[in-house]
Amino acid sequence: MPPASRTAPRSLPALPWSGSHYVGIDENGMGPRLGPLIVTSVLARVDGARGAKLATSKPSGAFAARIGDSKKLFAGGDSTLGEAWARAIAARTARAAAELAPGPHAPRPSTPAELLSTVALDPEATLRAPCPSHHADLCWGSGGEAFAADDASVADCTKDLDRLATRGLEVLGVRVAIVCARKLNDAVEAGLSRFDVDLHTMERLALAARDDAGEHVYAFCGKVGGFDFYGDRFGPLGGRLHTVLCEGRARSEYQVAGVGRLAFLRDADDTHLIVGLASLVGKWVRDHLMRRVVRWHRAHVPDAPEASGYHDPVSSRFIEATALVRKKLRVDPLCFERTSLGKKEAKRAGV
């Protein structure tokens, strides 16, 4: 892999964009010790310059209370707002599908597991394929789960979706890509960093949005690590012709044949409404899946702490407190704690 930074930033004159489909893409869980990496996309259709500006501007007014950087909006690890948004968007998507094609449709998700299945980019069979059969419920046990967001919160998000639509921004759907600890560790074994995995997953979501839209899309993504230069690191988009529109600290943007545009932006979840929406939903999915890991261990070690999985003292205590039960139950270490590239491998990967 080439280094993430090569030369001084470069750019071409700004080119107009005439497409009507915008995508916001962001990651949650890049740096933890435990749990999955989550990358989420929100697809929207804009009606003219007003809708485009709304999608690509910092939320203001009433929207600022419920849309934005998940790290700023969620206090104390509470991600119920993200759940409310996921439920509101999923319900709207289901209703729109029913209007377009009358007939039998999947019922509205009534449990967190059903909601997760509805928004996931990959089918559950694909996600569960790497799981050892004797502890598949480590990540997929859904017993006792219930929604945490109340109906009023979901109704508020639904009203916000209506208000956005009247201002020229119609949210069409949300997709969530789940990269479990095992898949992250397999990527490390192959010489990829978690930043490469994040980038390649964003590319997959951009391609999926292009298919869903049926036309070129303008995708706005959170910056990946400290990268300024992305083209040589593309995975799923690596075989497509692309033109560099600009590359720098704050923004790196590309025109990609057959897809549209991808812009990687610093602090995108705080400055672009459509990316903030993706961040909120992704935060809920990340927290929900981490709670499954904790719940599985606490069934065997009841006094194990409620860990976030990040690099903090509580997560360290959780890892120590549950070590013996994992050994006894033959939990694959690669399914539990993330490994990282060694210094030589990281340098070679340009991280």
pLDDT digits (tens, 9 = 90+) for 226-249: 789 999 999 999 999 999 999 999
CATH fold of the domain at 18-292 = Nucleotidyltransferase; domain 5 (3.30.420)
* pLDDT reported for residue 14: 59
Three-class SS string for the chain?
CCCCCCCCCEECCCCCCCCCEEEEEEEECCCCCECCEEEEEEEEEECHHHHHHHHCCCCCHHHHHCCCCHHHHCCCCCCHHHHHHHHHHHHHHHHHHHHHCCCCCCCCCCCHHHHHHHHECCCHHHHHCCCCHHHCHHHHCCCCCCCCCCHHHHHHHHHHHHHHHHCCEEEEEEEEEEECHHHHHHHHHCCCCHHHHHHHHHHHHHHHHHHHHCCCEEEEEECCCCCCCCHHHCCCCCCCCEEEEEECCCEEEEEECCCEEEEEECCHHHHCHHHHHHHHHHHHHHHHHHHHHHHHHHCCCCCCCCCCCCCCHHHHHHHHHCHHHHHHCCCCHHHCECCCCCHHHHHHHCC
pTM of the entire predicted model: 0.91
Q: Kindly report the average pLDDT of the chain as a whole number.
A: 89
Q: Give the domain ranges of the chain.
A: 18-292
- pLDDT band of residue 224 (cuts 50, 70, 90) is very high
pLDDT digits (tens, 9 = 90+) for 41-54: 999 999 999 999 99
